[in-house]
Amino acid sequence: MVFNVRYDRSYMPPRIVKTVYELNEANDYLSKGHTVLFEPVNLNSALYSNGFIFKNRSNGQCQIAESREFYVQYGRAIHLSEDECELVIPVKHYARERSLNIDWAAYVIPIEPKEGELFYVEDLIEDILVSEFWSSKS
C-alpha cells in the first residue's frame, strides 16, 4: 500500500470549519467562544436531473431513464419503445443527498482565526455542481 506523505515537518494542515445542522450543537460551540455563521440551505437547480419511470410491459419491471432513447457505456443506444415500455411518471433526481427537514445550517469557525489563514470546510452548506458525465451530476 502506498501513502502520500508530506515530508515537510513545518507543514501545518488547515484547521477544520465544522458544519452543524442543529441549534443545540451551534449553541454549544457559541458557548465555547466559536464564531458560528448561519446560512440558508438552498437547493441548486443545476443539480436536478429529469427523467421518467418506465414499466416493462412483458415482465413488469420498472427502470428510470432520462428519456425513451439514451446511451449507455461504450456508446450503445437504448430505445424504450411505447409498445415495450409504459411511461409511469416523470421524476426528478437531486444530485446531493441531504435532509430537507430544516432550511438552514451553520459554519463553526475555529477559535482565534488569523487573517489569511486557510481552513478546510468539511461539509459545504452550498450545493455546487462540480461535474457532469452523461446524465450523472456531482
Domain residue spans of the chain: 15-41+98-137, 48-94
- Averaged over 48-77, what is the pLDDT? 90
Q: Residue 138: what pLDDT?
A: 79
What local confidence, expressed as pLDDT, does residue 98 receive?
74
Sign of the Cα torsion 51, 96, 22, 42 reads negative
Q: Where are the beta strands (DSSP E) in the chain?
A: 15-20, 35-40, 48-56, 62-65, 69-72, 76-79, 85-94, 104-109, 119-121, 132-133, 136-137
The phi-psi region of residue 20 (left if phi > 0; otherwise alpha if psi is between -120 and 50; otherwise beta) is beta
Query: Would you say residue 134 has pLDDT above 80?
Result: no
Helices (H), 23-103: 23-31
Q: Which amino acid is at 100?
A: L
- For 102-117, write each residue's pLDDT tens digit: 889 999 999 999 999 9
Cα 53 from Cα 95, distance rounded (Å): 17
Which residue type, as a one-letter code, is found at position 70? Answer: F
> Is the pLDDT reported for residue 2 higher than 60?
no
12-42: pLDDT as tens digits: 789 999 999 999 999 999 999 999 999 999 9
Report the pLDDT value the prediction gives residue 75, as an integer from 0 to 100: 77
DSSP state of 13: P
What pLDDT shows up at residue 1? Answer: 45
CA atoms within 13 A on the CB side of 37: 10
